[in-house]
Structure 1
Amino acid sequence: MASYELNAFDRFFDVSLVAAVEQISPYTLNVGYWLRDSNQLIEFPPMVAGHPRQDFLWEETCFEIFIGVKGEDYYREINLSPSEAWQAYQFEEYRYPEDMPPQAAYDIDLNQLKKTHYGLSVSVDLTEFMLSNKLKWADLFMGLTAVFKTSKGTHYYAMQHSSPNADFHNKRDWLHVF
């Protein structure tokens, strides 16, 4: 299991976030997000039942996983709300197609999503994505991000920020390799 401290783009230090990744063979990915928000600044969306797919989750507090394929332009984005709603999107290349909301990716499925006392825990099934694209774990790399709506504004957390603006789609910042 690998873990990463995610950093706020605007150097907001009131909230800290650590994410851990665990690959469960053959096609399951588990990610845990541990949050420290001592002053309870984060605004959480209301809970929903049944883990529905919903668009525009990033407009509220949201955790995200980006999955890239070495040597390829296409990638997937998975949005995970503390409300326990989720969505997966497919892109052919950097932010393309430009549809809003983006095109849903039905080759990724949710095993489990749970808001916890420490943050968020998720298990996603990559079987169809990996098999249809003939991928092995070694072909993938990943970025972990989060958007926090707080009483002090919106803050963007990522493994690293190499763009002049917060840009979760920048593959240079997707640091986890399998």
Structure 2
Amino acid sequence: MNQSFNLCVATETIVNDAQQLGVTVDALQRICINVSAQIIRQPSLYLQLTYQLTLPNQLLAKQLNWSMWQQAQVKFDDYLWEETCLECFIAGRLINDENLTDAQKATPYIEINANPDGRYALYQFESYRNPATLPPTPLYAADGQSRAFINWINDVTPTLRYVENPLSNNPSVAKKPHHYERSFNVPVIQRSNKQYAIANTMIEQINPCVILWFGEIALYFAPNHASPPDFHNRSHWPRFEL
């Protein structure tokens, strides 16, 4: 069983973005991003997130900043949102929340960042963008001793699955789609009430998002957008249904 999300582009600056990228607004709106969430039980319990991206034409493929995955790059790193970034926000009650106020119980959330090259980061927020320090506070595993981490899925490490080579000079491929994919696991635990948790946070809402950089232009994708775009705004996050 999996939960699927179709991400749409934020449109506040889309006309100007299209002009700077030399494409139509329609081309940007036809960028297709699907994120699939799935619980994997063997050999360990994980939340698996798979990001599939399709660009509608060669011109966008040439401008996309999408790095090749490298084992040497797999490490915790900050400020990944300044590059193409696969993100996911997860919110829910803390497991041990007996001593918290009702407001504190309702507001904590986790932010996951992953660069296609292998770098990643997981952060913990107590409430909306709080703490406000940059970089944000790292998320620690349930033991409180080690930083939380992700595991990349090795069978999708090729940087790009071409329909045709997008750098080809053959005009017949200029309008064919170009596909990109990444997948990774986040360790989870299952509570006695059948709910899943990452570190000490129950998974009750999940908001997969993507920032795509095309040169100096950033496009923001989410299942639903606040205005202006704000991935941290929980009122637009879907419920977790797994």
Change (3 A) 1:51 1:152: closer
Aligned residues: 174
Give unmatched runs, 5+ long, in structure 2.
15-27, 94-104, 142-147, 161-179, 191-195
Identity among equivalent pairs (%):
26
Cα distance, 1:152–1:46 mapped onto 2, change above 3 Å: same
Residue 23 (structure 1) aligns with? 39
Residues 1:4 and 2:35 are matched in the alignment: no
Q: Secondary structure at the match of 2:106?
A: coil
* Structure-1 residue corresponding to 2:108: 74
The answer for the alignment partner of 1:59 in structure 2 is 82
Q: 1:127: Cα distance to partner?
A: 3.7
2:221 corresponds to: 157
More strand by share: 1
Contact 1:42/1:149, CA 8 A, preserved across alignment? yes
Deviations 1:116-170 (A, max 9, x none): 43321111113499386384xxx52100000000147210000111x22110001
Residue in structure 2 matched with residue 171 of structure 1 by the alignment: 234
2:211 is aligned to 147
* Alignment of 1:32 onto 2:50: yes
Structure 1: state its 5+ residue gaps: none
- Check the 8 A contact 1:27/1:130 in 2, yes or no: no
| Structure possessing the higher radius of gyration over alpha carbons | 2
Contact 2:109 2:201 in 1 (8 A): no
Aligned-partner SS, 1:130: strand
For residue 208 of structure 2, give the secondary structure of its aligned residue in structure 1.
strand
| Matches of 1:22 and 1:4, distance apart in 2 | 12
With normalisation by structure 1, the TM-score equals 0.85
Contact kept, 8 Å, 2:140 with 2:199, in 1: the verdict is no
> In structure 2, what is the equivalent of residue 126 of structure 1?
188
Q: Give the 5 Å matches for 1:37-48.
A: 37=55, 38-39=57-58, 40=61, 41-45=63-67, 47-48=69-70
Q: Secondary structure at the match of 2:209?
A: strand
Instruction: Describe the superposition over 1:64-107 as per-residue Cα deviations: whole angstroms up to 9, x where unpaired.
Output: 01010056210000001101100000000000000100001122
Do 2:73 and 2:117's aligned partners in 1 also have CA atoms closer than 8 Å?
A: no
Residue 9 of structure 1 deviates from its aligned partner by 0.4
Distance 2:119 2:199 in 1: 25
State how far apart, in whole Å, the 2-side matches of 1:73 and 1:175 are: 15
TM-score (norm 2): 0.64
Give the helix-richer structure, 1 or 2. Answer: 2
Give the Cα separation in 2 of the matches to 1:102 and 1:113.
Answer: 26
- Flag the 1:110–1:150 CA change in 2: closer, same or farther, 3 A: same
CA contact (8 A) 1:109 1:126 kept: no
CA change 1:172–1:93 in 2 (3 A) is same
